[in-house]
Amino acid sequence: MSVPLVQLAPDLTVSKLCLGTMTFGEQNSASQSFHLLDEAFDVGINFFDSAEMYPVPQRVVTQGRSEEYFGRWVRERKIPREQIVFASKVTGPSGQMTWIRGGPECLDARNITEAIDNSLERTQMDYIDLYQIHRPDRFLVNYGCFCRYVPMFGETQYDPTKQYTSVGVEEQLDALGKAVDAGKIRYIGLSNETPYGVMTFLRVAEKVPQYPKILTVQNSYNLLCRTFDSGLAECCHHERIWLLAYSPLAMGILSGKYFSPDGGPADARLNLFKGKYSEGESRYNLSNGMVKAATMEYLDIARRYDIHPVSLAFAFVLRHPLVASAVFGATKSRQLQEVINACQVELTAEIVADINRIHAMCPSPCP
């Protein structure tokens, strides 16, 4: 069994599955992480995603371990650099993660450049294939703290009356362009972005030839979160931008484990870090009746068609014509194998019609 590939650019081909490293260094030890990476690479997964703030939940004592573990794996396994595609991200403004450059107040050129250099040092790599802005630098000022201004992670309403601070896209693209010219990164992408943000980056890049063009946007997309289709999909289609769909299992909810009689395994992320992972819990709120209702309907579809719930969830994401790769996490070999098996599943028109019927009754309960 081999995972299919897709060509993002003339010299950049990635697997349709991208193994995220968000658990490496927290839920997974170095040896456990290496084992998962070995298994993924052996079946053709060549695409791996990280971030300078990983693992999560974010802590000062673990920050950067995910990148460190990945770099160590590449060196110890003596994997030729050209055989893997490595993606990472720069942390945006944060009043909480003070251990990352003092809790950056903005994503200016200094922060972007320093973040890239730090990631290269942690991984001990010469370059990063895809470098992404983790979240937009559009934050409101609230009593001297910087809070999210762009609706995301469960927020849906945009308030135009709020004041916010922001670094110009020109400065961000200039810093990223210089990193490309220096050979530190190859391509750039956005994450957790809106149609406005994507089009702004594209408009600015068109005016200055030396600025790099956005290649990908990494946003949440799954059976419970289809907000990408409402505006952003049109932007990506016309501007030839690929979607890297993260959280295809809605943080594990679509596996059904959290709605089992025992509430799921104690080491499942939403149980293990209950109350410590506000961003995940705000979007994937298990006490939300609509989340449970929709999930139970999707699980029923899987039972009726004799499809594993994980396969149903991944097959739905991978059938989207704009999805280049599904970014997923795994803490156990069993979970990894379930995802790999999902690549072999194709949804019939009848199954898709049933899925869309549920979506029409309960659209995107996890925006």
pLDDT tens string, the chain, 367 residues long: the values are 789 999 999 999 999 999 999 999 999 999 999 999 999 999 999 999 999 999 999 999 999 999 999 999 999 999 999 999 999 999 988 778 999 999 888 899 999 999 999 999 999 999 999 999 998 887 544 434 444 455 555 556 666 666 566 788 999 999 999 999 999 999 999 999 999 999 999 999 999 999 999 999 999 999 999 999 999 999 999 999 999 999 999 999 999 999 999 999 999 999 999 988 777 788 899 999 999 999 999 999 999 999 999 999 999 999 999 999 999 999 999 999 999 999 999 999 999 999 999 999 999 999 9
Phi, psi of 93 (to 5 degrees): -50, 135
CA distance 300 to 133: 37
Q: For the CA atoms of the chain, what is the radius of gyration? A: 20
Nearest to 134, CA basis, from 182, 188, 178: 188
Report the pLDDT value the prediction gives residue 165, as an integer from 0 to 100: 60
Identify the three-state secondary structure at position 324. strand
What are 41's two structure tokens?
């690479």
Strands 47-49 and 17-20: parallel
Which residue out of 54, 69, 131, 149 is catalytically annotated? 54
Show me where the domains of the chain are located: 5-254+313-347
Identify the CATH assignment for 5-254+313-347 out of 3.40.570.10, 3.40.630.10, 3.20.20.100, 3.40.190.10.
Answer: 3.20.20.100
Report the pLDDT value the prediction gives residue 106, as an integer from 0 to 100: 86
Report the pLDDT value the prediction gives residue 147, as an integer from 0 to 100: 45
Q: CA distances (Å), 151 to each of 251, 327, 356, in order?
A: 19, 21, 25
Is the pTM for the entire model greater than 0.75? yes
Place of tokens 């410590």: 276
CA distance 185 to 306: 44
**Residue 360, amino acid:** A
Identify the three-state secondary structure at position 255. helix
Report the pLDDT value the prediction gives residue 148, as an integer from 0 to 100: 45
DSSP designation for 227:
G
Q: Indicate if 149 belongs to the active site.
A: no
CA distance 179 to 177: 5
Report the pLDDT value the prediction gives residue 1, as an integer from 0 to 100: 73
Characterise 39 by phi-psi region: left (phi > 0), alpha (psi -120 to 50), beta (else). alpha
Contact call for residues 122 and 110 (beta carbons, < 8 A): no
Contact call for residues 129 and 186 (beta carbons, < 8 A): yes
**CA-angle at 193, arms to 326 and 165, nearest 5°:** 150
